[in-house]
């Protein structure tokens, strides 16, 4: 795919993401708390806005690019395929941070990644309440509202600020395991923040607001876009063995600089998959 075409696709996708964000914003104008249903646990929420945003995005993108494929959270929840092939594929999280969205906590976003031959080509994460668009086109750097962003230059875990994402799984064994890792990490850093959006956490690493992020078993749609933004900002996304992350693996994810990754990885055990 040549650069002009990629840029046109990027521009088109950015406009679409921002206009879908207006629809998400309308929820809090219409009522104080959008109503929600449960998915796999009482803490796993979905709203009409998750489904509506996804429909808007897929509808518009498939009209523009009829041959393109889609992997999207609510589509997969309804039995759709989660299979990344060589075909041009959009990977969509219509609202990342649904729990925040429901409660009115201002940390949720729309995440849209585009892959060709299984490689990320572009990533857009729209932080709706803060009106910030994090974005990247492969090889062209990472941006927030058009300004270049870079990950932090902190090299010492003892001087770092971390973020963690727990996921909606509420089984005691997994929670104990996650708390064990958090305990180990918090002893070695300045603090751990849990804002409840994997895509924003990773964009915050890209922007240097935090130094590292640990996510417990994220889905591909949680970080398909943010992953490219982080890479373009100079960060790495690693599996618990320190190797580059396979986006479909649902392993524990570490997003940080190389130096911090090398200090965090030895502190992690081998993480069992959340659906084991």
Instruction: Give the residue numbers marked as catalytic.
Output: 73, 93, 95-96, 98, 222
H/E stretch holding 52: helix 48-64
Distance CA 41, CA 273 (A): 16
**Cβ pair 194, 186 in contact under 8 A:** no
Least CB distance to ligand IPD at residue 158 (A)? 25
Binding-site member from 21, 120, 123, 167 for ligand IPD (CB under 6 A): 167
Q: Is residue 74 a contact residue for ligand IPD (CB under 6 A)?
A: no
127, 201, 222, 232: residue in contact with Ca ion (rule CB under 5 A): 222
> With CB under 6 A, what is the number of residues at the site for ligand IPD?
13
Look up residue 255 and give its two tokens: 């997003």
Check: CB of residue 82 under 8 Å from CB of residue 220: yes
In the complex, minimum distance from the CB of residue 205 to ligand IPD, in angstroms, rounded to a whole number: 14
Length of the chain: 276
Q: What tokens were used for 193?
A: 């923040």
Is 230 in contact with 262 (CB distance < 8 Å)? Answer: no
Please tell me whether residue 97 binds ligand IPD under the rule CB under 6 A: yes
93 is in an annotated binding site: yes
| Burial class, 136, CB count within 10 angstroms (exposed 0-12 / middle 13-18 / buried 19+) | buried
Q: Binder to ligand IPD among 154, 222, 228, 236 (CB under 6 A)?
A: 222
Minimum distance from CB of 93 to Ca ion (Å)?
4
Q: Is 93 in the site for Ca ion (CB under 5 A)?
A: yes
- Residue 73 marked in a binding site: yes
156 is in an annotated binding site: no
CB 222 within 8 A of CB 149: no
End-to-end CA distance of the chain: 38
- Of residues 10 and 166, the one with the C-beta less far from ligand IPD: 166
CB of 33 to ligand IPD, least distance (A): 16
Q: Given the rule CB under 5 A, which residues bind Ca ion?
A: 73, 93, 95-96, 222
Residues in the annotated binding site for Mg(2+): 73, 93, 95-96, 222
């Amino acid at each position: 795919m040549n650069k002009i075409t990629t840029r046109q696709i990027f521009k088109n996708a950015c406009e679409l993401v921002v206009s879908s964000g207006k629809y998400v914003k309308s929820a809090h104008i219409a009522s104080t708390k959008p109503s929600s249903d449960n998915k796999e646990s009482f803490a796993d929420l979905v709203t009409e806005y998750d489904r509506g945003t996804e429909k808007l995005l897929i509808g518009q993108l498939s009209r523009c690019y009829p041959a393109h494929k889609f992997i999207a959270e609510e589509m997969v929840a309804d039995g759709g395929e989660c299979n990344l092939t060589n075909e041009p594929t959009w990977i969509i999280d219509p609202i990342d941070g649904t729990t925040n969205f429901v409660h009115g906590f201002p940390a949720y976003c729309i995440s849209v990644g585009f892959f060709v031959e299984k490689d990320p080509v572009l990533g857009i994460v729209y932080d709706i309440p803060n009106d910030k668009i994090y974005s990247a086109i492969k090889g062209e750097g990472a941006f927030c509202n058009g300004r270049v962003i870079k990950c932090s230059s902190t090299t010492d875990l003892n001087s770092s600020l971390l973020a963690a994402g727990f996921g909606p799984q509420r089984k005691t064994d997994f929670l104990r395991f996650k708390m064990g890792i958090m305990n180990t990490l918090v002893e070695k850093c300045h603090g751990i923040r849990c804002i409840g959006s994997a895509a924003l956490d990773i964009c915050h690493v890209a922007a240097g607001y935090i130094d590292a992020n640990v996510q417990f078993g994220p889905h591909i749609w949680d970080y398909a876009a943010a992953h490219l933004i982080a890479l373009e900002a100079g960060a790495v996304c690693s599996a618990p063995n320190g190797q580059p992350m396979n986006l479909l693996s649902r392993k524990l994810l570490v997003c940080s600089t190389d130096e911090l990754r090398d200090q965090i990885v030895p502190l992690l055990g081998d993480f069992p998959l959340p659906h084991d």
